[in-house]
Amino acid sequence: MIEKIAFGRTGHHSTRVIFGGFALSNADEYQADRTLEILLSYGINHIDTARDYGKSEELIGRWMRRHRADFFLATKTSARTYRGAREDILRSLTLLKVENVDLLQLHNLVDPKEWEQALAPGGALEALVEAKEQGLTRFLGITGHGLMAPHMHRQSIGRFPFDSVLVPYNWVLMQIPSYAKDFLALYEECRRKNIAIQTIKALARRLWPGPPAGNTWYEPLQDQEDITRAVHWVLAKPGLFLNSVGDLDLLPKVLQAAATFDPEKPPREEEMMEMVRRLGMEPIFSPS
């Protein structure tokens, strides 16, 4: 089984691997049902999806009648206005077939202009706060992609008491000095405020050298040994959660890696460097 730790100040103990619902964006019902079996077999108790994730909410909704109590359920809106976010929230609840979720998140809020709009009067944050007041969610969070995400998240949690953040994190990214500095500053502030820290892109190898050959916009690691090393490196950082990869074929490998994690035996820097050289790993985000 996979370790469970407190998800920030929510009172919920989540598995350190959270199922990333983007993996179901183009799936069918058979694949979704098989995915549920895998999640339950590893004791995964936290699902993260989004209104933007294709068929994900609809397929997860098929699970909820029997398994709502088994999962901390999170979704996201990319809307920046109150009206757009409110419509997304209600649509998500309908597709998920639930009366409420555990966590609503503002999705990929890193552009400064969008950030100002979403957090200003009449912005999307007002819809999330209203949803919480109405019992449609218990907690509120914020997510981000790209190299600016940690910096913008620090501004967000300084402006509003979000319960969680989601941010890219892997060994290659942390070799970029400016990114490492921003990430560690965010990490320390979240730890002080007891804000849950979710991470994405643990398995990113590089951008696809040609047309994408899977359900991820970047080329992921494929070999079990390499995946295990990358997953263990993320989990070695105390308090971090790892959101699983967007490729269903790789999900069992991620869960197997997490199930074998030993905090006393984190990957050595030499091992990470060797893997990066051998696989030609590169950052998947470019400076804006």
Residue with tokens 């397929």: 59
**What integer is the mean pLDDT of 249-255?**
98
Stated length of the chain: 288
Give the tokens for residue 262: 């030993």
Confidence at 1, pLDDT banded by 50, 70, 90:
confident
CB 185 within 8 A of CB 215: no
pLDDT in the model for residue 287: 78
**What integer is the mean pLDDT of 75-98?**
98
**What integer is the mean pLDDT of 102-119?**
98
β-pairing verdict for 13-15 and 4-6 = antiparallel
**What integer is the mean pLDDT of 243-253?**
97
**What integer is the mean pLDDT of 41-60?**
98
**What integer is the mean pLDDT of 254-283?**
97
* Whole-prediction pTM: 0.97
pLDDT in the model for residue 288: 62
Q: Judge whether residue 113 has pLDDT over 70.
A: yes
Q: Alpha-carbon distance 172 to 49, whole Å? A: 25
Least confident of 115-124, 141-150, 177-186, 207-216: 207-216
Q: How many CB atoms lie within 10 A of CB 159?
A: 11
**What backbone torsions phi and psi does residue 167 show, to the nearest 5 degrees?**
-155, 145
Give the tokens for residue 167: 């941010």
Q: How many CB atoms lie within 10 A of CB 243?
A: 23
**What integer is the mean pLDDT of 26-40?**
97
Domains of the chain, earliest start first: 4-279 (3.20.20.100)
3: nearest Cα among 255, 266, 267: 255
Kindly report the three-state secondary structure assignment for every residue of the chain: CCCEEECCCCCCEEECEEEEHHHHCCCCHHHHHHHHHHHHHCCCCEEECCCCCCCHHHHHHHHHHHHHHHCEEEEEECCCEHHHHHHHHHHHHHHHCCCCEEEEEECCCCCHHHHHHHHCCCEHHHHHHHHHHCCCEEEEEEECCCCCHHHHHHHHHHHCCCCEEEEECCCCHHHCHHHHHHHHHHHHHHHHHCCEEEEECCCEEEECCCCCCCCCCEEECCCHHHHHHHHHHHHCCCCEEEECCCCHHHHHHHHHHHHCCCCCCCCCHHHHHHHHHHHCCCCCCCCC
Q: Judge whether residue 265 has pLDDT over 70.
A: yes
**What integer is the mean pLDDT of 205-212?**
94
Confidence at 286, pLDDT banded by 50, 70, 90:
confident
As a whole-number percent, the residues of the chain with pLDDT over 90 amount to 98
Average model confidence (pLDDT) across the chain: 97
Q: How many CB atoms lie within 10 A of CB 29?
A: 11
**What integer is the mean pLDDT of 229-252?**
97
